[in-house]
Structure 1
């Protein structure tokens, strides 16, 4: 038996940071959420916060580098709720900063590429057939580094350039079918991003008073997903005010 719900959103990388904030924003707006991430305990904690808003929330342990796991995540959403209205492609990691390419461990290149590139592809591929049925929305979390060069993290930057190109191309195919496709590009956000390979995270490195917050990005994602009619926000840049100073 499927569970009746007004709207259903799926979010990858939902155990912390932007993904968790996005899940809570959707829940506050009355949208049921299906959350995917590798960290089970943190994922369930986010789901419980969403349930406290009065909506249904499902936590599904998911490694986005595994296409079968991503397919199972999407199928879990459809089996439980009978629909999928929004997919947020958020899961991502970055390599160690300022390492010469000749010294960057290959496993970091592969991990960043498999998570940010392959994971985005697997999520879009699994979700789009269901989004087409609902005239739904797919939101990719990009980065300012996907629009400008990054000498400190070239692999991460390249993965986000790919995400932007992929999203625009997906829009060319899915847009005529009624699916809104958006890329949201934040600058650095003070979250636990960086924990995979770096000694310090963004939360430790960035001043929360001078940067874009995870809540700001979540608001942008929900705004993009809420567009109705024939229009869609193709790309939304959320930059700290001094971003262009470095150029």
Structure 2
């Protein structure tokens, strides 16, 4: 019960890494707010958590909307009385991404709105509640694309690189409030979206080969997020942890 007595808000918790975190956090004793734009998947995860004896609520949330994110934080505090942990999980690369000269304008704006602005909004509204609590932990979703050069991912790399820089900046700003800010940078993870892409023939074999321990399962990333969420990381802030099966070494 590494999160006993803690309240966690997880964005994009209806699938993939977010869902794995919601389930793991609940098993570790946290009350979990599932912030998800898809009502069907968000409600499904809430039911799964409660069927295992955990406590959870589902909040339909658009992370690119200030009003929606502010409401998600307020409803979390209303339901559970406080907020200790924020995991800004929403994001992901798409097949529309590419080099800077060919990536559609809409794709770039969408990545900035969801990955960067969505992360910024979550922090903006969660931090005051954590200050009231006397501290807390924010975990942002970075990516291995932010840690090394990656072809054909100009929009996604821009957004995740900015999230990485934001993480370090916030760690400096919030240390006086005992709020830790870290990020997890996953490698290629077998979420539903990636599995469908691979089944559709859009896999890149060279990427899989560079994951020297094999492609990741969402729970592999969830355990890294759990470390940052727990008091075990109480003296760790401003760090970017690559959970990438060795990809960044190759």
Provide TM-score, normalisation by structure 1.
0.88
Q: CA deviation at 1:230?
A: 5.2
Q: CA deviation at 1:31?
A: 0.6
Q: Deviations over 1:147-173 (max 9, x none)?
A: 112222111011111001001111111
Q: Does residue 158 in structure 1 map to residue 158 in structure 2? A: yes
Q: CA deviation at 1:95?
A: 3.5
Q: Does residue 106 in structure 1 map to residue 105 in structure 2? A: yes
1:201 to 197, 202, 214: 197
**Are the aligned partners of 2:187 and 2:243 in contact in 1 as well (CA < 8 Å)?**
yes
Q: What's the RMSD between the two structures over aligned residues?
A: 2.2
Distance 1:203 1:189 in 2: 14
Q: Deviations over 1:122-178 (max 9, x none)?
A: 000010111122211000011111111222211101111100100111111111210
Q: CA deviation at 1:219?
A: 0.5
Q: CA deviation at 1:241?
A: 2.8
Q: Map 1:73-222; keep pairs closer than 5 Å.
A: 73-96=72-95, 99-134=98-133, 135-193=135-193, 201=197, 205=203, 210-222=214-226
**Are the aligned partners of 2:96 and 2:107 in contact in 1 as well (CA < 8 Å)?**
no
SS of alignment partner, residue 140 of structure 2: strand
Q: CA deviation at 1:203?
A: 7.4
Q: Does residue 54 in structure 1 map to residue 53 in structure 2? A: yes
**Are the aligned partners of 1:30 and 1:54 in contact in 2 as well (CA < 8 Å)?**
no
SS of alignment partner, residue 93 of structure 1: coil
Provide TM-score, normalisation by structure 2.
0.87
Distance 2:96 2:149 in 1: 14
**Are the aligned partners of 1:93 and 1:193 in contact in 2 as well (CA < 8 Å)?**
no
In the alignment, what sits opposite 1:226?
A: 230
Q: CA deviation at 1:49?
A: 1.2
Question: Judging changes above 3 Å, is the alpha-carbon distance between structure 1 residues 229 and 43 closer, same or farther for their aligned structure 2 residues?
Answer: closer
Q: CA deviation at 1:25?
A: 0.5
Q: Which stretches in structure 1 are left out of the alignment for 5+ residues? A: none
